[in-house]
Structure 1
């Protein structure tokens, strides 16, 4: 299960992987803010791994059957005309306790596009299949997700863009003032910011287990 509330927490905790804003020095020694229209890509808190038990209702460590983790999350962002498209790929690495026999474990995962940290724009649920050979304790599979958003929606209004990207030099009256301290700027940037969140589609019980272990 995936809740919008989880989104805001996850983005703070992960530092907005694929950060949407930052600063850099220009050639004259001034400072300018830098912002990307590409969606940030992240794994929401407590959804990056899943534990299966046998029997399913048990939570005893001795009953752990399979543990799987999403890792090596990568993304590629390009603008195609009026659309901004981000494709993300990842690996799922899994380990099972009982290595007897061939076995396939299918795990559902979500790829959710959000706006401003709380608004869910789209959500797709897919599945990844892990295949264990007889005697094999580990297995690896790959998955992916996509964010396809309008470039206009991810673009700041001209007056806000000018305020965010204006070069600030030592000696300027407001050189030390971060434009993001302005509530109007923060609101505009949040509205134009998108995220692609990927994680396991967990049941409430699985999510609670991850949060409390």
Structure 2
């Protein structure tokens, strides 16, 4: 069953991941075809989280802990049948009250999205922020991993030939972008994956991030 993520449709790309670029040469063929590795991104409004005390308040005076995900990096191993992407990131936390040591566990997710909207896999883990007594700041690191079947991330040969076919001036389709054809565009989308990582925020936290 396919799932969609309309609330996260607008992505804040934090790095290019392993994706490549297609460039159209002088004869109309695409000379550089993108990698099968997924692009890594943080969905909008999930890169930071705010905890309140009391939890029902969103007043600035009630802010308890804030945390932000930074330094998101990825490596991709596409040598085998499974394309494995490893993601690492840092979390910087800030708390209001510093009386005593404290541990704050924050859930985060790693999601594989196919074709720009269909969620095909999701995992949730937690990262622990440890605040020493008297300290307002804490830093932690998190990791995540995704796997995509190479067969699913590979553009069919027939479509690849359409994308890379040389076009001579004067031919009927010389000036036509092959990606303007729905069947070609859909085939490329089906083979395109994104690895999305962010805090597993509640609906209320997501709304707060979007409207503050």
Give the secondary structure class of the aligned counterpart of 2:99.
coil
1:109-128 equivalent positions in 2, closer than 5 A = 109-128=108-127
5 Å-filtered alignment, 1:44-59, equals 44-59=43-58
2:6 matched residue in structure 1: 5
More off after superposition, 40-49 vs 79-88? 79-88
Structure 1: gaps spanning 5 or more residues? none
1:111-159, Cα deviation, whole Å (9 max, x unpaired): 1112112221111110000001112111111112111111011111101
**Residues 10-159 of structure 1 correspond to what in structure 2 (within 5 A)?**
10=11, 13-14=12-13, 17-18=16-17, 20-24=19-23, 32-159=31-158
Q: Would you say the 8 A contact 2:153–2:192 is kept in 1?
A: yes
CA distance in 1, matches of 2:165, 2:99: 63
Deviation of 1:8 (Å): 3.0
CA separation of 1:78 and 1:206: change in aligned 2, threshold 3 A: same
Structure 1 segments of 4 or more deviating over 6 A?
A: none
Contact 1:49 1:200 in 2 (8 A): yes
- Deviation, structure 1 residue 180: 2.1
- Partners of 2:209 and 2:156 in 1: how far apart? 40
Report how far residue 63 of structure 1 moved.
1.1
Following the alignment from structure 2 to structure 1, what is the Cα–Cα distance between the partners of residues 157 and 69? Answer: 39
User: In structure 1, what is the Cα distance between the partners aligned to 2:184 and 2:86?
Assistant: 28
Post-superposition shift, 1:194? 1.1
CA distance in 1, matches of 2:8, 2:164: 27
When the two structures are superposed, what TM-score results if normalisation uses the length of structure 2?
A: 0.87
Q: Which runs of 5+ in 2 are unaligned?
A: none
Q: Secondary structure at the match of 1:35?
A: coil
Q: In the TM superposition, what is the alpha-carbon distance from 1:182 to its structure 2 partner?
A: 2.2
